[in-house]
Structure 1
Amino acid sequence: MDIFSFITLFGGLALFLFGMNQMSASLEKLAGGKMEAILNRMTSNRFKGLLLGCGITIAIQSSSAVTVMLVGLVNSGIMDLSNTVGVIMGSNIGTTVTAWIMSMIGISSDNFFIKMLKPESFSPIMALVGVIMMMTCKTSKKRDIGNIMVGFAILMYGMQFMSNSVSPLADSPKFESILTAFNNPLLGVLTGLVVTAVIQSSAASIGMLQALSMTGGITCGMAIPIVMGQNIGTCATALISSIGVNKNAKRVAVIHILFNVIGTAVFMAVFYGLHAFIDFKFINDTISPVGIALFHTIFNVCTTALLLPFTQVLVRIAVKTIHTEPEREVAFLDERLLKTPTIAIRECNNQAVEMAHIAKNSMLKSMDILFSYSEEDSEAVHQMEGDVDIFEDHLGSYLVKLSANELSDHDTRQISKMLHTIGNFERISDHAVNVLSASKEIQEKSVVLSDTAHSELNVVAAALKEILDITIRAYDTDDIEMASRVEPLEQVIDGLTEAVKLNHINRLQKGECTIQNGFVLSDILTNYERVSDHCSNIAVAIIELAHDSFETHEYLNQLKSADDPEFKRLFEEYKNKYSI
């Protein structure tokens, strides 16, 4: 084996890692909505968690990505630590699928159909079809499928390169003498651990072992401890991702390490203990890529079966290992979730909905205490407004970073919707503070509005409460039909505020009201009208999302100028409902 063989080996490893990353990223985008649905059904049930972990890992072909995602979810306070145990176990089983796919490289037959299962036979076809789809397809979903096919072909070519580079070792006496050292199980575990920790991919290290096995020099006794060491080595990614997170998130990495270390220790003790009495003959037999995939699966399934009943014990050990005082729950998303954009977008939307409800409640609170101001209520409104400001700051920055990722069309539209709406939620809470200032002025200056002004203001307030309720519910549920009711009501509120202002001028001319009272009334009405405008902007963003456009002003102009019978019907309905 000369220098060129080493170049081919590392080049093959580079292609393998690139192909795996390409395939994983595209699979994640393609699985997008399904992953959201699965996460929505996440419960504390360990068996459901096990299936969840297995399913997501098969979908995105990376147990490391799942673990990093779990660290981010726990660090953000989205997921409870105990819910992660089953997911981690499931991800270890899910990752065995990759080893089975790579074992196809060892297929040997003259039969045409069996020969077509060899990667060197079908990979060129997959690469060609994938490139054509990437270049010609217009939908992102089909282009993602093309990316998956190309990534898989590159992965298989990398595997083939690694296999070809080590094939001269089959006849090398030096290689045989080196392999004898791996008859020591502890050295085998250590080797698998170190190699996997360095390249941070258990799939790649398993692939290298499968390539070496094709030389005929790897026995079952050598491969078994190396595979177990590779399982421990994959925890390096979780350890790195746990740097700079809260204590609870660090415990996710501890649980991952415990699972693999305990499984390896138990398996080693049982296997070699029985071997001492029974003397397994197969231990000196050479192992094939399929044999490595089989043992990899057996080890992870048996370890899961052994430790699944003791999930709470693992949690308690992790808590004792990383001991700390209870921490305040982190309110915002962890940047580690940027590696899984679909999950991050889903959680961003959840927080945007929470932000919307806080903004709505702040406005409703200000309206309710308009004529009964108190410092306690004022503090509550200011607190809500401060929370909304923080939400906007964090969500805005996070969404900008998230938009830099390669996203599906659906995810891109979701980010656009949130970026178009969170500013409106923040402005609603600002107007709540403005209304609060008017409330304080009414109390301090003993402003007394006429009964007529009171009655008219109550009508506008009732309409504003309804538009807020419709808008937030439409945003929460993505209900386009409900969102379409906002603009007609907003037009009615505009008319109401103008009518109240004109009526005030008439009362002023008759001496039934004062200019000072008029200033306060005008401030209140202006803020009410501005809130309804922001509700209109939010509703338009929801509607335009369905049409893949965010031309807000163009949409509103078309709506008002067009002879839309449904708009007219709703306008008349609200006009009759809220009249002064």
Structure 2
Amino acid sequence: MDYGIWNVIELLGALGFFIYGMKVMSEGIQKAAGDNLRSILGTMTSNRYTGVLTGFLITAIVQSSSATTVMTVSFVNAGLISLVESAGVMMGANIGTTITGWLVSLIGFKMKISAYALPLIAVAMPLMFSKKPNLKNWSEFMIGFALLFLGLEALKEAVPEIQKSPELLSFLTQFNDPGILTRLMFVGVGTILTIVVQSSSAAMAVTIVLCAQGLPIEIGTAMILGENIGTTITAELAALVGNVHAKRSAKIHSLFNIIGVTWMVIMLPYVLDLLHYIWPAPETGDPNKFTLALFHTTFNFMNVMLLIWFVPSIVKLATRLVKSKGDEDEEFSLTNINYDAPLTAEVSILSAQKESIKFAEITKLMFTNLKELLNEQKQDTRDKLKAKISKLEVRTDEIEERIADYLVRVSEQQLSIESSVKVRSILSIAHDLERIADIILRMSKDIERGNKQKSIFSEKQNKNIKEIFGLVDLSIEQMITNLNGVYGKVDISGAIETEMAINALKTKMRKQHLKSTEKKEYDVQSGIIYRDLFFAAEKIGDHVINVSEAVRGDFGKDDEDM
């Protein structure tokens, strides 16, 4: 067999063709799924068992376990889900990624897919020019599906036929019953292959094609085990810039796959015998492609069924392996969005939405600290509260900048109209949240200035401040509730009522303040601080309602969209 450098280049091109088709198909289905994808993700925070179902469904939809696991790591990093919940999602992702093997085996080899791919593109192409976004998304999915299998066809042509190389065939047949060291060697080959192509689905397709060309099934199954380890690298890389919780989440994924591969390497000959018994090889045709898909699904399903009972123990082990470096490492962080994560636009926007929720929770924490600062008498405690508010405000500046930078990068992709509206809405939300943090910091300085001047509010002033702060607190709670809703569909009537109440109370307090000042009911210094506080509280209310209106879509739409 004469296989030169040009053939290697053709093989790499075919592999790139396959991966590109998978990317286009994945992006199309994510855009088409829209709110359904978010609904599925909503179950993620339930428990490890529903997490398995969530991970399976998301990966089956987006056809990328890497996207699911990286997104999960980012949510753990933001403190939106726990380590135990993330373990379930990643387990489900491992089962979901086996769908690709069945697609390749049952469709890619059963029919001459190139005969259907071009007509499919012909049907999909006119839909690309439709004014209905959903039709455009489905056309993108159809084109990606066609490109995927055209790439597979090219891959089948580019992979050398092992049967036509007696020397290579003779060498490989000695591995028909490989020992445990040989199995480990090919596990390593599968791991390296997945790391190189950065896609376990693509590595799986290559392995299936190789087995169809004569690679012994024992080697193919060992390579698939390695591909399960190789796919954990993406999550580990995504966690490098995250906090200790993100690193532990990625470590859980790695431990789950490594433990599974370890026991399967030992049991591999017996499992293969069982699979051949359950699904006997046909008299004609090559059975390897079906055996590989069946093995991949069986392994991941068995591994989940076995290890799901030991999730708390795996979490404890990951916690021991990844030590915390201190309080800052323990903090849930929003400022570590991974720009290199292989997420498509829809999933990236969803991740940014989740980040904005955590951003809002930080502003809520700042306002809680502000209320404590107002009522605290001990100077040491006041200093700590003021320092905490100042530190959180610095973080909000960084968060706004990084979310904006992240969304600008997301906008470089081809976005649907709905996604473009969401990007603009989230940018608006991030700006308003940062302004809220600025105002709270300024209010903390006003309170501290009053403490230094030994200014004391009257009973009436304290009552009014407590009342307007209570309304602002309620408005922030409503804002966070709205941020957790579906963009474009939230009912913000409650938030509007609270904002109107804040405005009315501020107007009433202003009139009372002017009368009290005129009557000299309290000193000028405390009056100025009192005025500044309730004016600032009303400004917070303005930005809070802006956030809720942005979730409704008011600041994301162009005039022609409305």
One-letter code aligned to 1:223: G
Judge which range, 127-136 or 317-326, deviates more: 317-326
Identity across the alignment (%): 25
- 1:96 maps to what in 2? 98
Describe the shift of the 1:127–1:246 C-alpha distance in structure 2 as closer, same or farther (beyond 3 A). Answer: same
Distance 1:246 1:159 in 2: 39
Q: Deviations over 1:452-479 (max 9, x none)?
A: xx64x46753652354144213312225
Distance 2:436 2:103 in 1: 49
User: Are the equivalent residues in 1 in contact too, given 2:243–2:333 (CA < 8 A)?
Assistant: no
Judge which range, 485-494 or 351-360, deviates more: 485-494
Residue 474 of structure 1 pairs with residue 478 of structure 2: yes
Distance 2:317 2:107 in 1: 41
Q: Deviations over 1:477-501 (max 9, x none)?
A: 2252123225544553454355235
- 1:220 maps to what in 2? 217
Residue 525 of structure 1 pairs with residue 542 of structure 2: no
Map 1:106-185 to 2 at 5 A.
106-108=108-110, 118-139=112-133, 141-166=134-159, 170-180=163-173, 182-183=175-176, 184=178, 185=182
- Structure 1 position 365, deviation (Å): 4.0
One-letter code aligned to 2:187: V
User: Are the equivalent residues in 2 in contact too, given 1:35–1:343 (CA < 8 A)?
Assistant: no
- 2:253 maps to what in 1? 256
- 1:331 maps to what in 2? 332
Describe the shift of the 1:39–1:379 C-alpha distance in structure 2 as closer, same or farther (beyond 3 A). Answer: farther
Q: Deviations over 1:49-84 (max 9, x none)?
A: 322221221122111222333333444444433333
Residue 195 of structure 1 pairs with residue 193 of structure 2: yes
Distance 2:499 2:304 in 1: 55
- Structure 1 position 330, deviation (Å): 2.2
Describe the shift of the 1:127–1:476 C-alpha distance in structure 2 as closer, same or farther (beyond 3 A). Answer: same
Q: Deviations over 1:171-220 (max 9, x none)?
A: 343453453354345244333232222212221111112223443x2343
Give the match's secondary structure for 1:443: coil
Judge which range, 418-427 or 77-86, deviates more: 77-86
Distance 1:480 1:527 in 2: 26
Distance 1:523 1:268 in 2: 71
Distance 1:168 1:475 in 2: 61
Residue 400 of structure 1 pairs with residue 411 of structure 2: no
Pick the aligned partner of 1:54 from 50, 53, 56.
56
Describe the shift of the 1:468–1:160 C-alpha distance in structure 2 as closer, same or farther (beyond 3 A). Answer: same
Give the TM-score taking structure 2 as reference length.
0.80
Give the match's secondary structure for 2:333: coil
Give the match's secondary structure for 1:68: helix
Describe the shift of the 1:419–1:132 C-alpha distance in structure 2 as closer, same or farther (beyond 3 A). Answer: farther
Describe the shift of the 1:468–1:271 C-alpha distance in structure 2 as closer, same or farther (beyond 3 A). Answer: closer
Describe the shift of the 1:270–1:44 C-alpha distance in structure 2 as closer, same or farther (beyond 3 A). Answer: same
Pick the aligned partner of 2:389 from 367, 385, 391.
385
Pick the aligned partner of 2:435 from 418, 421, 424.
424
Q: What is the alpha-carbon root mean square deviation over aligned residues?
A: 3.8
User: Are the equivalent residues in 2 in contact too, given 1:123–1:157 (CA < 8 A)?
Assistant: yes
- Structure 1 position 158, deviation (Å): 1.1
Describe the shift of the 1:317–1:351 C-alpha distance in structure 2 as closer, same or farther (beyond 3 A). Answer: closer
Give the TM-score taking structure 1 as reference length.
0.78
- 2:541 maps to what in 1? 535
Give the match's secondary structure for 1:150: helix
One-letter code aligned to 1:351: K
Gaps of 5+ in 1: 109-114, 555-580
Distance 1:535 1:178 in 2: 75
Distance 1:441 1:158 in 2: 72
Judge which range, 63-72 or 155-164, deviates more: 63-72
- 2:230 maps to what in 1? 233
- 1:310 maps to what in 2? 310
- 2:289 maps to what in 1? 289
- 1:111 maps to what in 2? none
What is the count of residue pairs matched by the alignment? 526
- Structure 1 position 255, deviation (Å): 3.6
Distance 2:313 2:532 in 1: 60
Give the match's secondary structure for 2:330: coil
One-letter code aligned to 1:291: T
